[in-house]
Amino acid sequence: MASVEVRNLSKTYLTQTGEECLALQDLNLSIEKGEFFALLGPSGCGKSTLLHIIGGLNSARGSVLINGQTVKGPGLNRGIVFQEYALFPWQTVVENVAFGLKMKGVPRKERLQIARDYLALVGLSGFEKRYPDQLSGGMKQRTAIARALAFDPEVLLMDEPFAALDAQTREILQAELLKIWEKTGKTIIFVTHSIEEAVFLAQRVAVITARPGRIKQVIDIPLPYRRYAEEDIRSSAAFSGVRHELWQLLSAEVVQAGVLAGSGAEPAQAAVSSAVRENLGSLPSILLQRGTDA
């Protein structure tokens, strides 16, 4: 049985002007237990919405199943890591990590011990008594990962968790996340707009189309399981091959996203969010030009 199944999922929402907007359309996904799965797509394609629906924080047409059970709302069988960390500033690091266990009704002493173990797993031993405001961005995200793992969910849902970090911290945390995944054996669904990140982390990558979001294609990443241990795997031929393949799939969607975002007054180039430009800095200008005219 698949760990996570998404069946015929569609999501519409009302814009401020009262129009119906189709964010996701007829999405189907099947993610195996213990798999590291990435959702890759241009900004605004609804990939975060999809993640929140799987997390039970949003409702939609269609269904999501975790281990065969239909999702009806949030639950402790899924842990979510947000891009904005979403730590509670009034709690110390260890209390933050113990939060889910508290909701589960685990006694204080026991849950603090478990929280300390998970802080050790993410390399934050010694920071238990700090408050989130005393931590760097990378340390905050480590805390958030420990928090999502501490109540031992089946599935870890990660919503662009490293997007706000500097490049070096991001690479370190990517490698650490793979180690944590190896140690815990969790099913991970990881939303990103970065091709590099998707290729480095995931076993399979689903490319999501520009709005309305649909699965364009699911690609297997032909890299070894313990890829963080390989020396400079990002320079390998296999890595750049699959990177290019994804780039081609994604670039058309980015142009499409640019057309959707550009209201005419703004050139498409500006409409394509900076996050996407990071990936496609070398996109031929003729493509973007055509986007403006269309």
Partner 1 sequence: MRVRIFQVGAIVLLLSAWELLPSKGVINPNFLPPLSETLKTLVALIVAKQLQGHILISLKRIIYGLGIALLVGYPLGLLMGWFRDFEKVVDAPLQAGRQISALALFPVFILVFGIGEFSKAVIIFWASFWPVLLNTIVGVKSIDPILIRSARSMGARGLNLFANVIVPASAPSAFTGIRLGASYAFMVLVAAEMVGANRGLGFLVLNSQETFKIPEMYAAIITLCLFGLIINHLLLALEHRATKWRQVRVGN
Q: Which of 133, 231, 232, 293 binds partner 1 (CB under 8 A)?
A: 133
> How many whole angstroms separate alpha carbon 43 and alpha carbon 39?
12
Tell me the closest approach of the beta carbon of residue 119 to partner 1, in angstroms. Answer: 17
Kindly state whether residue 164 participates in binding partner 1, applying the rule CB under 8 A: no
Q: Which is nearer to partner 1, 156 or 205 (CB)?
A: 156
Please state, in angstroms and as integers, the Cα–Cα distance from residue 267 to each residue in 222, 286, 289, following that order: 38, 13, 8
In the complex with partner 1, the residue whose CB is nearer, 91 or 113, is 91
User: Among residues 102 and 243, whose Cβ is nearest to partner 1?
Assistant: 102
Cβ closest to partner 1, residue 95 vs residue 253: 95
Hey, which residues does 190 pair with through a beta bridge?
38, 158
Rule CB under 8 A: is residue 44 a binding residue for partner 1?
no
| SS3 state at 105 | coil
Among 44, 46, 55, 161, binds partner 1 (CB under 8 A): 55
- The residue among 275, 138, 100, 124 whose CA lies nearest residue 197 is 275
| 85 vs 239, beta carbon nearer partner 1 | 85
* Helical residues (DSSP H) of the chain, grouped into ranges: 47-54, 93-97, 99-104, 108-121, 137-150, 167-184, 195-201, 237-261, 268-271, 274-279, 285-293
Distances (CA, A) of 146 to 97, 176, 239, 278: 6, 12, 29, 29
16 binds partner 1 (CB under 8 A): no
Binding interface with partner 1 (CB under 8 A): 52, 55-57, 74-76, 78-80, 82, 84, 86, 88-91, 99-100, 102-104, 130-131, 133-134, 147, 151
